[in-house]
Structure 1
Amino acid sequence: MLRRRGRVLIQMLSSPSASTSSPLHRLISATRPQVSPNPSFAVEEYLVSTCGLTRPQALKASPKLAHLRSAANPDAVLAFLAGRGLSGADVAALVAKDPKFLCAGVDKGLSPIVAGLSGLGLSDPEMARLLSLAPHKFRCRSIVAKLHYYLPLFGGSLEKLLRAINFNTNLLCCKRRVEPNVAFLRECGLGDGDIAKLCSSIPRMVTANMERVRTMVALTEGLGVPRGSGMFRHALSAVAFLDEKKITAKVDHLKKTVGWSDAEVSIALPKAPFLLAKSNESLQHGSEFLVSEVGLEPAYIARRPVLLCYSLEGRMRPRYYVVKFLKENGLLKRDPSYYTVFKETERYFVEKFICPHKEAAPYLAEDYAAACRGEVPDYWLQ
């Protein structure tokens, strides 16, 4: 078995793109003698010369491998990793992250795991990615059962699952906590697709204890966002790991900066609960622009609170100046709705407000592009 893996590794590293001086090539070169048990096996040197770690990385990792007396098992593990398609750099990163991976059993440990993951449809490159993300989780046989549970939740997309694992590797060690949380969120009207998005955007949410998840749901409902509504997932993301005190402070800030009444806050937050995640500074600047410069009423903004979520410098201010220029030069037949101006896609805005005026305002497109980069033309500010 090990000889077969060795041949695979030799074939990989003897390709034209492989360096004959690479650590892994030296590991399995035909001239290297068989390593025998040696009480004075130099772990640190092995990590540097064979695994490709830097000296500081090897110094940090070697105490975790102090019990090793030969390179036999590490050599087998490295051959196994090469067989999975990991490059020398991948191996160095993996060993630096999880030195004890070199102690894993190949025949009775790693090989059965690979067989199980193959049974779930994972290819070698996909397993290599999973290895790089969570090597310490990969060497536990339970990883097969965990992926068997998570893949349907993510619509069968390993790409989406790996993205979530990248944000929170605890997904692979907290399945017993995740399962009841997922069941509860389903009871709240969320589909698997919504739950998978929560795993990716707020991964700690599904690995938190059940009491915390119930609190998040209660806070969401307290904002006026009912279970099963289209905004419920967004509201959950907004209140994740907030408490009543922080939410109250944010609401008070909105009332003060935008000039909203309690009734207007109760209209705005169910429509745009993600306002709770915006910084006070961003809300301050956005509201000052919309109220003082554009001239919108607080009640108007409350019914269209998403306006406070758009980029001020990269979206709203440049578009406002374009419309202002067109109006001042008599190029618009009627005043547009600023809600429409700010919310529509970039393509729509350009086709509606830039392209029709190429002859009358030949530099408008260029000036608008500059404004989006923060370089507002002087004549727009007059």
Structure 2
Amino acid sequence: ALDFIDPDKLSMTVVLTAMNRFLNEDNGLQMAFLDGNQPDRICKPMKKYIEARGGRVLTGQPLQAIDVDSATGEIAGLRMRSGEVVTADEYISAMPVDVLKRLVPERWSTLPYFKQLDELEGIPVINLHMWFDRKLKNVDHLCFSRSPLLSVYADMSTTCKEYYDEQRSMLELVFAPCSPIAGSPVNWIAKSDEEIIDATMGELARLFPTEIAADPTWPSTLSQGPDGQARLRKFAVVKTPRSVYAAIPGRNKYRPSQETPIPRFTLCGCFTSQKFLGSMEGAVLAGKLAAEVVACRAAGEPTQGVKAVEETVTHAAGTMAPRKPRGVIGNDAVAFGGGSSLTSSAADELKAFDPAQLVPLG
């Protein structure tokens, strides 16, 4: 469950960090759930808050490039695909590391700060939403699985207000590790939704032998005994080909500070340097740290400064040729580091900018 990666590949720093949080913080073992879906419960209130204070939230406007002042090397604006150039007093990037690497301007590419991003890459994860025709036995908590395919899951019909149902279960599961990058012998990102759900149903049948029914729709359940009655009504498969950074040994030292060597340009995102893992918690903390950088600059107060870069990276940056940004291809969520039900058009876009994700294996 930690970082969606095979335990044998995972850095022990991640495990020790998690244990430290669990043991040393009040309510460290508590798990919190939103009482509904993220767009309504998080995004809409944030948008309302910003707009009430004179701000604007622009959506559906893909970024084409980061413009740089030819004289100073500082950021000059954000060039949108529409051709519009957005200028600001301060710029904060919350892009995932894989997307950011595709947009680093040529002028910045030889700076050690940005060169170190080459050492970080996001790993795939698959989220499953599964609706059953009856209630399964469950606990009101996030559960760690004994399955090599399913890392964590929760019955949202019990844990979440919006999905509450006393008669039928709705499971949300994390299917990981799901690709060779994360240590899986099978590239599940390249598999069909039906293949993924069949494998999941087989694992659920193994974990809950007295509950899951033998269902011809899902061949992996056919060895089930007569006690199992629960059948799958519907499902959704959401694939995120590049999610949190791969926390393999030795990567933590390459996580950049929120402050960058470029004036008025700040980073956030869970891959940046902060005490939490690559996670939602890490993303929130990184956002707060980025806001502190901007606030200190606005108030004329000293900041924490830019985190030192490894000497090996500095040497490599000094000998490399500048790289032109590759840019982002496509319009689907996966092109910008998000998750999506992988339609044929989204799969075509993924094949264009990240073909390794769709190479069949196993």
Same fold judged by TM-score > 0.5?
A: no
Structure with bigger helix share is: 1
Structure number, greater radius of gyration: 1
Tell which has more relative contact order, 1 or 2 (C-alpha 8 A, sep 6+). 2
Q: Which one has the bigger strand percentage? A: 2
Q: TM-score w.r.t. structure 2 length? A: 0.17
